[in-house]
Chain A
Amino acid sequence: SQKIEQNSEALNIQEGKTATLTCNYTNYSPAYLQWYRQDPGRGPVFLLLIRENEKEKRKERLKVTFDTTLKQSLFHITASQPADSATYLCALGAGGSQGNLIFGKGTKLSVKP
């Protein structure tokens, strides 16, 4: 069955460092991969989308890579800030009109000042 793994439940880093979160998947060939941020008591908020034919996507301090050979996506936050502390979810979607995304369990990032 399809499986998504986010490499760690929690990641603690120092302010100013680069945070790297990993999303691995098996038994799946997604056409799209999305990353969301979720704060306590809130719904997820979209951050970035990357397509299977794209290697990398950037938005301000965020960078996402997508390696369909390794079946892995990396999510980077450069110059991290305490305000970046949240849970980050990766989500995979098939091509075509299949509407639902498959979400990972998330990685809780804590950025210490």
Chain B
Amino acid sequence: GAGVSQSPSNKVTEKGKDVELRCDPISGHTALYWYRQSLGQGLEFLIYFQGNSAPDKSGLPSDRFSAERTGGSVSTLTIQRTQQEDSAVYLCASSSGQGPKNIQYFGAGTRLSVL
């Protein structure tokens, strides 16, 4: 596609439920990132995929959070047993190369609300 696509754009769930957030990166981009942005806060790095390498999971806040990337393209971020503090905008980005010299292209995000 022309840009990074995220779905759903909004998700409302009840505390304790599991949610899955999807990201379709720009075609051909080998690197994919997930960030979390809470109200009034900066972007918090969650996880980074690069090609076939093991993902960098150093930013995941707890073991309730996991992500996978199938076939080097689409990625799914899963949050199990959601808590109210998980409410935030989850942003996905992709880039054509490895490392911070590369521009990141962001999707519009998924706004998650945990009631």
Contacts and interface: CB of A to CB of B under 8 A. Distances in A.
Contacts of A30: 100
A79 interface: no
Q: Provide the main secondary structure of the chain A interface.
A: loop
Contacts of A100: 33, 45, 48, 56, 59, 100
A46 B104 contact: yes
- Range for the number of chain B residues in contact with chain A: 20 to 34
- Range for the number of chain A residues in contact with chain B: 20 to 34
Q: Give the residue among B31, B33, B35, B42 with the most A Cβ atoms within 10 A.
A: B42
Interface stretch (B61-69, B70-78, B79-87, B91-99): B91-99
B99 A97 contact: yes
A106 B40 CA distance: 9
Given A43-B93, A104-B42, A105-B40, A96 B106 contact: no
A103 B42 contact: yes
A23 to B, nearest CB: 11
Contacts of B4: 43
B12 interface: no
Contacts of A44: 43, 91, 104, 106
Contacts of A62: none
Contacts of A103: 35, 42-43, 45
A51 to B, nearest CB: 8
Interface of B: 4, 31, 33, 35, 40-43, 45, 48, 50, 56, 59, 91, 93, 98-101, 103-109
